[in-house]
Amino acid sequence: MHIYTHPEFIHHDVAEGHPERPDRLRHLLGHLDREGILDDCQLREPGDLSDAQILAAHTTGHLEFLRRSEPTDGIVPIDPDTWMGPRSLNAARLAASAVCSGVDDVLTGTEQRVFCAVRPPGHHAEANSAMGFCLLNSVAIAALHALEQQDINRVAIVDFDVHHGNGSVDICKDHPQIMVCSSFQHPYYPNRLDDIEQPNIVNTPLPAGSGGDDFRRAISTQWLGALEQHQPDLILVSAGFDAHQLDPLAALNLQEQDFQWITQQIVSIANQYCQGRVVSTLEGGYDLEALARSAQAHIEALI
């Protein structure tokens, strides 16, 4: 299995004390190395992606805003939670490119499943706005890229980050070929686009304090049948691990085995409908040890 990452991700700078810090990726990759996961997975670097790929998901105004906002030195806030440094836009482009490269790998048969160890995350970035630590919506860009490929008629995005994938819903809601399933603590950030009712959007709110049994029940009831009905040709995963009980940013109580379980369900559906093809990308997860152990469980289930 390929794991896409790039040294540039470490150089996306954020404010002192910001939870989405470079140590997340350093710690995760170090943990995967120590646990022998990287012995079974080939590390690969993505190249850049085209403006056209970005503009399939985002407005021209949004891309121009990011270009104007990026400083030549230091860091600047572009909303109360989201920062840019001199190399942030490049990192965001490479993160989206990693997911697109993973799509290309699984569609050409080079790999069956791919994980992208990237930052910044992407699933909060809407068509015309950056927010929630996110600049470009990597998974939505990759979904639209996949639909341009031969024999890909339907794509599913499954998002188990503790925060609602509002950006993926915003970009994909008018594309019935893309189903977006998002589980999230509710009420909680970002409190938008979580009440849309249409066949290709499956919003799964969970009250604060929900644990693994609550999560598994909700996924089994709301996601699995919808995904079987959609019959995707490819599954993309927004893999956020901030629903872990140790995570400092939220109040769900999942454990590593819950992330393993949801991954097993995703792989099972992929094996049934789309030749096992799954491309997963890192979103949230802010306790370093919980992030590392949860991502390991996720990757092992993918392998």
Q: Could you tell me the domains of the chain?
A: 2-302 (3.40.800.20)
What global pTM score does this model have? 0.98
Mean pLDDT of the region 59-81: 97
Mean pLDDT of the region 138-157: 98
- Name residue, tokens 């066949």: 199
Mean pLDDT of the region 275-296: 98
pLDDT of residue 21: 98
Share of the chain above pLDDT 90, in %: 99
Looking at the DSSP bridge assignments, the partners of residue 3 are: 43, 115
Residues with a catalytic annotation lie at: 124
pLDDT of residue 140: 99
Which of 152, 102, 142 has the alpha carbon at shortest distance from 122? 142
CA atoms within 13 A on the CB side of 64: 3
pLDDT by residue (tens digit) across 181-210? 999 999 999 999 999 999 999 999 999 999
Residue 48 clears pLDDT 90, i.e. is over it? no
CB of 167 closer than 8 Å to CB of 134: yes
CB of 157 closer than 8 Å to CB of 238: yes
CB of 142 closer than 8 Å to CB of 100: yes
Torsion on CA atoms 60, 164, 258, 243, rounded to nearest 10:
110
pLDDT by residue (tens digit) across 166-186? 999 999 999 999 999 999 999
Q: At 141, list the tokens.
A: 């860009």
Distance from C-alpha of 285 to C-alpha of 121, rounded to nearest angstrom: 10
